[in-house]
Amino acid sequence: MEKLAIDGGKPVRDRPFPPVKKVGDEELEELRKVIDSGNLFRGARVREFEEKFAQLYGVKRAVSSTSGTAAIHVAMAMLNLNPGDEVITGPITDIGTVIPILAQNAIPVFADIQPDTFNLDPDDVERKITPKTKAIIAIHLFGNPSDMDGLLRVARRHGIALVEDSAQAHLASYKGKLTGTIGDIGCFSFQQSKHMITGDGGMTITDNDEYGDRGAIFVDKGWERWVSGPRHYAMFGMNYRMTELQAAVGIAQLRKVKWVTETRNRLGDMLSEMISDVGGVKPQRVLDGCRCVYWYYGMVVDEDAPFTASQFAKALSAEGIPAGAHYIGKPIFLCHEAVRNKKIYGDSDCPFNCRYTSAKVEYTEGLCPVAESVLDRLITISVNEFMNEEDIADIARAIRKVSEGLSTKSRA
């Protein structure tokens, strides 16, 4: 039995992983074209980026914006929510999934997750539906597609919209269909850590022309610029306009994203195969017929394992494999003070106590017990497109070594 590095043994890996450099000459060339044009404000390059993104996903409409959070806000505006409407989403996510719901004076409702995929449980989603429910936001966590058949059945049965938060799931697929194209609206992030980046930025896609029209003017302050005469603002909107600089980088990134996601899928699946017989831990389950793109590689410590996620991540990091435990720590509604205390606007309880609201929601521990259990046992590892098979073999060997070493220590 090899001595664990955390106990003074030789680490599995004593050299760093390859550097992650996502931008270079291709992006510089596209940026140079924008600088030479003299126009940095939204124009031809933004339109080109939107058109090419729509083509990549095979949809009619793509609306660019300033962030993944903005992209979800665009989706909420497309749906034209009323104050007090309810939107069901998952508890393991960034607060950027939740902010847009509250920004439209709607109520975020949290359904629990499946313990193996870490994504929304369609059965619990259905239990949380009320007459005020207007939408579901499915989160493809870590690039792993949600149970879209189950969520679609629930959404269609109740006549509500299904939105996909694909911020971590560029070019992931569910039974041959790209995530973001299966529901009514798909939302993407181009933040620095994502599969394709513009520093920050977002895109909202749809095949619904009414949604597309609303989204296009929402990001431009609700302004119908083509109307002659006095300015005409057709709806309340935000200034979420993407710049030509962001779009230029995005255009170059579109040429790389297939390679990025195909490589991550291959390496992540390889790692799952290599550790399939390791005791005490289980990789995030990928549903049959689905393609995960591994924004993170996630796995959980078994409930009866002789070690905790924190112990495992610490020991794995000592072996030269950077790892994290618990991801966001707690369900997102417990992480955000204003949400937890329902104090979004000043000292009021709006929208939770307004006359349009019927839900009496409480964001407390125990609301999503499966998510709490998963987070308590969750380990995350980076798998990226600059790694190779030898790197993955080192990660697998370290996971096996740590599992065996910690189990042996627990019996001593």
Q: Taking 80 as the threshold, does the pLDDT of residue 412 lie above it? A: no
Residue 118 counted as domain residue: yes
Place of tokens 């600059």: 386
Selected residue with higher pLDDT from 200 and 359 = 200
Same domain, 251 and 276: no
Same domain, 112 and 167: yes
Domain extent, residue 99, equals 25-255
Residue 208's pLDDT band (cuts 50, 70, 90): very high
State the virtual CA torsion across 66, 73, 297, 276 in degrees, nearest 10.
Answer: -150
Query: What value does the mean pLDDT of the chain take?
Result: 97
Residue 375's pLDDT band (cuts 50, 70, 90): very high
Are the C-beta atoms of residues 307 and 406 closer than 8 Å to each other?
yes
Same domain, 87 and 231: yes
| Dist CA 142 CA 165 (whole Å) | 11
Q: What percentage of the chain exceeds 90 in pLDDT?
A: 97
- How high is the pLDDT of residue 1? 75
| Dist CA 323 CA 313 (whole Å) | 5
Which helix (DSSP H) or strand (DSSP E) does residue 109 occupy?
strand 107-110
Q: Taking 80 as the threshold, does the pLDDT of residue 354 lie above it? A: yes
Q: Can you say whether the dihedral through the CA atoms of 217, 222, 225, 229 is positive or negative?
A: positive
- How high is the pLDDT of residue 409? 85
Mean predicted confidence (pLDDT) in 314-330: 98
Same domain, 111 and 247: yes
Lowest-pLDDT range, 120-134, 209-223, 358-372?
Answer: 358-372
Secondary structure letter of residue 230 according to DSSP: S
Q: Which of 256, 290, 294 shows the shortest CA–CA distance to 392?
A: 294
Are the C-beta atoms of residues 367 and 358 closer than 8 Å to each other?
no
Residue type at 80? N
- How high is the pLDDT of residue 340? 95
All residues at 6 or more sequence positions from 353 whose CB lies less than 8 Å from its CB, including other chains: none
Same domain, 221 and 185: yes
Residue 10: which CATH number?
3.90.1150.10
- How high is the pLDDT of residue 24? 97
Residue 410's pLDDT band (cuts 50, 70, 90): confident
Q: Taking 90 as the threshold, does the pLDDT of residue 328 lie above it? A: yes
Question: Which of 255, 284, 312 is the last residue in one of the domains?
Answer: 255
Q: List C-alpha distances in Å: 172 to 103, 169, 182, 264, 388.
A: 28, 5, 11, 10, 20
Question: Which of 255, 277, 295 is the last residue in one of the domains?
Answer: 255
Q: Environment class of residue 258 by beta-carbon count within 10 Å: exposed (0-12), middle (13-18) or buried (19+)?
A: middle
Residue 202 counted as domain residue: yes
Q: What is the pLDDT of residues 126-177, one digit of tens each?
A: 999 999 999 999 999 999 999 999 999 999 999 999 999 999 999 999 999 9
Same domain, 101 and 236: yes
Question: Which of 240, 255, 270 is the last residue in one of the domains?
Answer: 255
Residue 183: which CATH number?
3.40.640.10
Residue 358's pLDDT band (cuts 50, 70, 90): confident
Residue 363 counted as domain residue: no
Mean predicted confidence (pLDDT) in 356-367: 90
Same domain, 92 and 137: yes
Q: What is the pLDDT of residues 43-86, one digit of tens each?
A: 999 999 999 999 999 999 999 999 999 999 999 999 999 999 99
Mean predicted confidence (pLDDT) in 362-384: 97
Same domain, 138 and 270: no
Q: What is the pLDDT of residues 97-112, one digit of tens each?
A: 999 999 999 999 999 9
Task: Give backbone dihedrals phi and psi of 133, rounded to 5 degrees, phi first.
Answer: -70, 125
Question: Buried b vs exposed e over 130-162: b needs ≥16 C-beta within 10 Å?
Answer: eebbbbbbbbbbbbbbbbbebbbebbeeeebbb
Mean predicted confidence (pLDDT) in 23-48: 98
Same domain, 39 and 104: yes
Given phi > 0 = left and psi -120 to 50 = alpha, else beta, which region is 106? Answer: beta
Q: Taking 80 as the threshold, does the pLDDT of residue 385 lie above it? A: yes
- How high is the pLDDT of residue 362? 92
| Dist CA 373 CA 376 (whole Å) | 5
**Total domain count for the chain?**
2
Same domain, 238 and 302: no
Residue 356 counted as domain residue: no
Q: Taking 80 as the threshold, does the pLDDT of residue 359 lie above it? A: no
Q: Which of 127, 135, 121, 192 shows the shortest CA–CA distance to 164?
A: 135
Cβ-based neighbour number of residue 174 at 10 Å: 22
Place of tokens 């993170």: 296
Place of tokens 């994290």: 324
Residue 51 counted as domain residue: yes
Residue 353 counted as domain residue: no
Beta bridge partners of 135: 87, 161
Residue 347 counted as domain residue: no
| Dist CA 300 CA 327 (whole Å) | 11
Same domain, 196 and 297: no
- How high is the pLDDT of residue 360? 82
Same domain, 168 and 189: yes
Cβ-based neighbour number of residue 166 at 10 Å: 33
Q: What percentage of the chain exceeds 70 in pLDDT?
A: 100
Q: Which of 144, 58, 105, 55 shows the shortest CA–CA distance to 355?
A: 105
Secondary structure letter of residue 7 according to DSSP: G
Where helices occur in 58-186 by DSSP H, the ranges are 68-79, 99-103, 122-127, 148-158
| Dist CA 27 CA 246 (whole Å) | 10
Residue 220 counted as domain residue: yes
Residue type at 388? N
